[in-house]
Amino acid sequence: MPVETRYFRSDKWADGLHKLLTCKFGVEGSQVKTVPQYNEGCDVSVKVYVSVGNEWQLISGALPVAQVSYSNGDYKVQKSNTWNCPQWDVSNSHVKVEVWVFLAGVWSIVGSARFRTEQFPANTQLDSALWSVSYVGSFSATLVPTPRSQFTFWFDGANDCKIANFSYSTLGGGVVPRRKLVGVGR
């Protein structure tokens, strides 16, 4: 049963030394979400999916998980929280993690911050484990010349953006079967 730390990276920075969650959208370094409204701070979290064919099945629940908060003036601050990953069949599938931010009363993805694993082999399961999700983020808000709030998710730098205790093993008894699909292949 491998227990790993998975690092958020763009595919450009895959170095063979780290197990990764890679961003396949040609982005590198950071992703930004800006709204035309002043906010004192923001909440940041993740949603976790498993691929089923060309579609994605949400396994983390409807609300984002491993939530942290950022305040105005935070610059490249590392924050962490945990999530209880359920045991789940990932045979011939990828795991995708999206970074979300709560700004102006709405949850939305941070730019193109969609990261995924390699495809797991047949007869593989995610193990029930307490993931520790670490983010590096910046938040700024201003009223002049016009109201604006911006969250930046930083990755590809030091090994600060990661998921620790990412655990998987050979498929065993009691694995949660794949459920109703949510969303389409993003």
Phi, psi of 89 (to 5 degrees): -70, 120
Domain range summary for the chain, segments of one domain joined by +? 3-170
Q: Is 132 helix (H, G, I), strand (E, B) or coil?
A: strand
Task: Give the pLDDT of the chain (186 residues) as one tens digit per residue.
Answer: 788 888 888 765 555 555 567 665 445 678 899 999 999 999 999 999 999 888 999 999 888 899 999 999 999 999 999 999 999 999 999 999 999 999 989 999 998 888 888 889 999 999 999 999 999 999 999 999 999 999 999 986 666 889 999 999 998 655 555 543 333 333
Calculate the dihedral angle through the C-alpha atoms of 9, 11, 118, 127, rounding to the nearest 10 degrees: 0
Q: Tell me the CB-side half-sphere exposure of residue 17, using CA atoms within 13 A.
A: 3
Query: Cα 37 vs. chain centroid, distance in angstroms?
Result: 25
Question: According to the model, what pLDDT value does residue 181 have?
Answer: 34
pLDDT value of residue 67: 97
Task: Reduce the DSSP state of residue 144 to 3 states and report it.
Answer: coil
pLDDT of residue 14: 54
How many residues appear in the chain? Answer: 186
- Which helix (H) or strand (E) element contains residue 22? strand 19-23
User: Closest by alpha carbon to 85, among 43, 132, 45?
Assistant: 132
Distance separating alpha carbons of residues 93 and 100, to the nearest angstrom: 22
Q: What is the pLDDT of residue 29?
A: 76
Count CB neighbours of 162 within 10 A.
25
